[in-house]
Amino acid sequence: MSNNNSQQSALKKVLKYVGKYRILIFVSMLLAIASALLTLYAPILAGNAIDYIVGQGKVDLANVVKILTQMAVVVIMTGIFQWVMNAINNRITFQVSRDVRNDAFSKLQILPFEYIDSNQHGDVVSRIIADVDTFADGLLMGFTQLFTGVVTIIGTLFFMFYLNWRIALVVVILTPVSLLVARFIASKSFVLFKRQSEARADQTSMIDEMIGNLHVVKAFSHEDENMEQFDAINDRLENASVKATFISSITNPATRFVNAIVYAAVALTGAFACISGVMTVGGLTIFLSYANQYTKPFNEISSVITELQNAIACASRVFALIDEKPQIPDKEKALDTCATVGKIDLKDISFSYDKSKTLLHDVSVEVKPGQRVAIVGPTGCGKTTLINLLMRFYDVDKGAVVVDGCDVRDMTRNALRNSFGMVLQETWLRAGTIRENIIMGREGISDEEMIQAAKASKAHDFIKRFPQGYDTVIGEDGGNLSQGQKQLLCITRVMCQLPQMLILDEATSSIDTRTELKIQDAFNRMMQGRTSFIVAHRLSTIREADIILVMNNGQIIEQGNHEELLEMGGFYSKLYNSQFES
């Protein structure tokens, strides 16, 4: 899409969001008209006052005082109207930015995993936070100055033509020069502001990645390389910002230069009119004041246009996120009840992240209720992908995943995922208390049930060592907890839910061997009567599995129990024996 089309599309969407607040906009416009007309009325009063001061000894003081009193009332009313108008404009602006953020965050909840996996997380954060802030700033300036400026220009023209159409015509003839200058600069600044926004997003992404992986950076002494990369992005941001600011800063002095020419032309023409007796000195004062007020909105509007270019450039990035194609919605009559039996059939499924290269090929497995299924194989063979398809994080390209006789695509995602309990190698804990992290997803659980689950997972002992116990507040991603402690909390979370099916993906990878032996006993009790999928690299942990699926190059090349696979002397046998060779 071209820049012009992108700009027009973003502007239409902005107007759609703003249109929800028509009543507030209407009131704001009325106040803008009222304050502009009162502002235009003040020069007339000043001009009349000047005409009552003809010369020495010819001052009509009574009328001058009367006019000054009227001017004071006009100034006070103008101030009140502008204050109320600004308050309404602020309300409109921040309600619009709230609506945009809500829509962006809501879209984030339903975006497919392909989008999340293929876009930098920092860039997404930058769109929802920084870009919306910039958009709000530009929108606020537009509401605050644009309405008043337009009304002032129209009102000033009306009064000037009413007072002296010849001098007014001089002003109108010179006006397009200012507009052409502002338009030319605005067209150039949009592209530069968009580059600035993109560079800022790249910078946010790198900082986010750096903070999240700081221990890896330090472990590999990669600080200097990171600094070089950051400097390069920072230089690109500086370059884009300087150019955008330079181009936009030309607007004001350029339009002021044109406006100064207009003012000089009015003063010269008006002076000749006074000499010839066509206009009084007070009338000339009124006209000069109007000429100044007429040109001032053009300076403001040109600044507003520049800011709006920046705002629309940022808005286009936010709307690009909002317009992203969501995940395939649940079917209208999709099954909304959790699985109760735990029978799973994988029927000739094929899948690939990159559609040009197939990852899983014609995988077929029949899992009976209550069976323990282990999935083993070298890195990249498709173990985690198989789990993603079971949970319907991705949809299969071919074939079907069937749970309790129902294709998962005919179930709601909530029902399917509530049927599974997952413990992954990568832990996920949010900022809050230990209690809140454990009972997540299980409403109404009692303290006794929670403590019982924690004891079963061997997490109770270390939790009680904290002064606040289960009410201990932990930071994002577990704060200062060890990796093993984080994983124990995640295991406890699943033990509180105990759904019909379990997925354990390297669930004890961060736990010491002694604790692992204890947890294995708890896992055995938890898996009793439940269909379970176990992904593990340590083959000693899966010897009790009912079925072991051996995967390689996206296919199941062997399946059976531990003894059967050893007797076959195939891939599994070599893989298993290699872990116990001296």
d(CA 223, CA 217): 6
* Neighbour order of strands in the sheet with 360-367: 360-367, 344-351, 398-403, 406-407
d(CA 54, CA 37): 28
Query: Tens digit of pLDDT per residue, the chain (582 long)?
Result: 555 666 778 778 888 888 888 898 889 888 888 888 888 888 788 777 777 776 555 667 788 788 888 889 988 998 999 899 889 888 888 888 889 889 988 888 888 888 887 777 778 888 888 888 888 877 777 777 777 777 888 888 887 787 777 777 877 777 767 667 766 766 677 677 778 878 888 888 788 778 777 767 777 777 888 888 888 888 888 888 888 878 777 776 777 777 777 777 777 777 777 777 777 777 777 777 777 777 777 666 666 776 777 788 888 888 888 888 888 888 888 888 777 788 899 999 999 887 778 888 888 889 998 888 988 888 778 888 888 888 888 889 899 999 988 888 988 888 888 888 888 777 788 888 888 888 887 777 888 888 988 888 888 888 999 888 899 888 877 777 887 788 888 888 888 877 888 888 876 666 677 767 767 777 777 788 888 898 876 666 677 888 989 888 888 888 888 888 888 888 888 887 876 654
Cβ-contact 551, 376 below 8 angstroms: yes
Considering the domain 430-498 in this protein, what is its CATH number? 3.40.50.300
For the chain, the C-alpha Rg in angstroms (whole number) is: 36
CB count within 10 Å of CB 36 equals 25
Token pair, residue 142, equals 């537009």
Token pair, residue 445, equals 């659980």
Cβ-contact 474, 437 below 8 angstroms: yes
Beta pairing partners, 551: 556
Helix (H) or strand (E) holding 573: helix 571-578
Helix (H) or strand (E) holding 466: none
- Residues constituting the chain: 582
Helix (H, G, I), strand (E, B) or coil at 290: helix
Residue whose entry in the numeric block shows the structure tokens 């992404």: 205
Q: Strand 372-376 to strand 406-407: parallel, antiparallel, or no bridges (unpaired)?
A: unpaired
Helix (H, G, I), strand (E, B) or coil at 277: coil
d(CA 285, CA 291): 10
d(CA 206, CA 114): 20
Helix (H) or strand (E) holding 5: helix 3-18
Q: Strand 406-407 to strand 473-474: parallel, antiparallel, or no bridges (unpaired)?
A: unpaired
Nearest to 374, CA basis, from 580, 557, 541: 541
Q: How many helices (H) and strands (E) does the chain have?
A: 20, 12
pLDDT for res 577: 80
Helices within 213-222 (DSSP H only): 214-219
pLDDT for res 303: 66
Nearest to 262, CA basis, from 378, 335, 328, 181: 181
pLDDT for res 57: 56
CB count within 10 Å of CB 38 equals 19
Helix (H, G, I), strand (E, B) or coil at 256: helix
d(CA 126, CA 201): 5
> Cα–Cα distances in Å, from 66 out to 48, 54, 55, 73?
11, 17, 19, 11
d(CA 53, CA 61): 8
Helix (H, G, I), strand (E, B) or coil at 555: strand
d(CA 550, CA 571): 8
Cβ-contact 358, 436 below 8 angstroms: no
Cβ-contact 359, 352 below 8 angstroms: yes
Considering the domain 3-322 in this protein, what is its CATH number? 1.20.1560.10
- Identity of the residue numbered 495: M
CB count within 10 Å of CB 324 equals 15
Cβ-contact 381, 553 below 8 angstroms: yes
Helix (H, G, I), strand (E, B) or coil at 154: helix
3-state SS, one letter per residue, for 9-51: HHHHHHHHHHHHHHHHHHHHHHHHHHHHHHHHHHHHHHHHHHH
CB count within 10 Å of CB 476 equals 9
d(CA 312, CA 9): 10
pLDDT for res 438: 87
3-state SS, one letter per residue, for 472-504: CEECHHHCCCCHHHHHHHHHHHHHHHCCCEEEE
pTM exceeding 0.75: no
pLDDT for res 582: 42
Residue ranges per domain, the chain?
3-322, 430-498
Cβ-contact 481, 322 below 8 angstroms: no
